[in-house]
């Protein structure tokens, strides 16, 4: 019995010795890897510190540049950039002409035909607008005001088409229009007796009632025109005589009339009062 028990005991002792022998090896491996892990972490930390420092420096530079741009005069910067562009163009023109080449032809290589034509039309439009800025006569001024109002007008094409369709259907039902289908399948309205379409003698337009928003827009345009007139009047130094009668056509004529009033108003007071009483009656 004792002999049989010795075998298992020896085997367990062998396993215990093996585990004890392996523990120092494991501890030595952990000890050897710990310094390398610490070095890696330290290197990553230093890299993060360097990146943060670089970002802070870059942000400071950008903030300083932005402050300088905001503090600088925009008109001066625009003028400087324009002068730089003109100088660059003149330099390129001089180099091209010194080489015996055509400057306009070489510059046109950078643009397409459509872009070149658009640029020419734009330059012509700017030249015409520059010529029309100064006052010429009241007819030209009225034309400019009319063109500006046309540009600012909001067209209701959908409402126009709906009103046109409704009018055509109503006229077709009443017999004023005859709807004919062509061979292509298109429907055409024919005004056989000439009563649908307006002419010089027609009075059907008086039955048309504009929308409320169109009336409001007309009132706003009139109000803006009156404000513009009063503003220009104040700019000409006539703020104190808004309600006075306009008896002059320009500033020189106004001064002449004032001189006449200083010398002759005392003699013409009765005549002017008689005219005012007659006008009032």
Q: Are 61 and 53 in contact (CB under 8 A)?
A: no
E strand segments, the chain: 178-181, 187-190
**Separation of alpha carbons 218 and 216, rounded Å:** 5
pLDDT at 219: 92
Tens of pLDDT, residue by residue, the chain (281 residues): 444 444 444 444 544 554 444 444 444 444 455 778 888 888 888 899 999 999 988 888 888 888 777 776 677 778 888 888 899 888 888 888 888 888 888 777 878 888 888 988 998 888 887 777 766 778 888 888 888 888 888 778 888 888 878 877 777 777 767 777 777 777 777 766 655 666 666 666 677 788 888 899 889 888 988 888 888 777 766 545 555 677 788 878 888 988 998 888 888 888 888 887 776 44
Residue with tokens 């649908």, as numbered in its chain: 196
- DSSP-derived letter for residue 175 is T
pLDDT at 1: 41
Q: Are 188 and 179 in contact (CB under 8 A)?
A: yes
pLDDT at 11: 47
Q: Are 176 and 196 in contact (CB under 8 A)?
A: yes
- CA distance to 127, 132, 134, 143, 224, per residue, from 137 (Å): 19, 11, 9, 10, 21
pLDDT at 217: 86
**Separation of alpha carbons 218 and 48, rounded Å:** 68
**Separation of alpha carbons 65 and 60, rounded Å:** 9
pLDDT at 17: 52
- CA distance to 48, 203, 229, per residue, from 175 (Å): 89, 19, 50
Whole-prediction pTM? 0.36
Q: Are 215 and 209 in contact (CB under 8 A)?
A: no
Per-residue tokens: 253:
């004529």
- CA distance to 140, 228, 241, 245, 253, per residue, from 249 (Å): 18, 19, 15, 12, 6
């Amino acid at each position: 019995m004792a002999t049989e028990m010795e075998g298992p005991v020896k085997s367990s002792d062998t396993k215990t010795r093996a585990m004890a022998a392996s523990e120092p090896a494991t501890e030595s491996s952990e000890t050897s890897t710990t310094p390398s892990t610490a070095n890696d972490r330290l290197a990553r930390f230093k890299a993060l510190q360097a990146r943060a420092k670089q970002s802070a420096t870059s942000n400071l530079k950008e903030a300083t540049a932005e402050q300088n741009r905001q503090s600088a005069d925009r008109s001066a910067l625009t003028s400087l950039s324009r002068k730089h562009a003109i100088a660059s163009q003149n330099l390129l023109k001089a180099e091209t002409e010194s080489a015996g080449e055509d400057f306009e032809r070489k510059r046109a290589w950078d643009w397409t035909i459509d872009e070149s034509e658009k640029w020419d039309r734009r330059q012509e439009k700017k030249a015409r607008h520059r010529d029309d800025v100064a006052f010429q006569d009241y007819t030209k001024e009225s034309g400019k005001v009319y063109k500006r109002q046309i540009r600012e007008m909001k067209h209701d094409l959908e409402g126009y088409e709906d009103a046109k369709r409704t009018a055509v259907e109503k006229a077709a039902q009443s017999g004023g229009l005859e709807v004919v289908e062509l061979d292509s399948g298109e429907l055409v309205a024919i005004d056989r007796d000439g009563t649908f379409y307006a002419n010089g003698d027609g009075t059907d337009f008086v039955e048309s009632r504009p929308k409320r928003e169109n009336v409001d827009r007309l009132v706003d345009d009139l109000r803006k025109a009156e404000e513009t007139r009063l503003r220009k009047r104040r700019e000409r130094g006539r703020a104190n005589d808004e309600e006075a009668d306009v008896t002059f056509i320009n500033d020189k004529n106004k001064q002449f009339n004032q001189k006449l009033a200083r010398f002759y108003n005392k003699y013409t007071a009765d005549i002017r009062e008689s005219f005012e009483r007659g006008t009032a009656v």
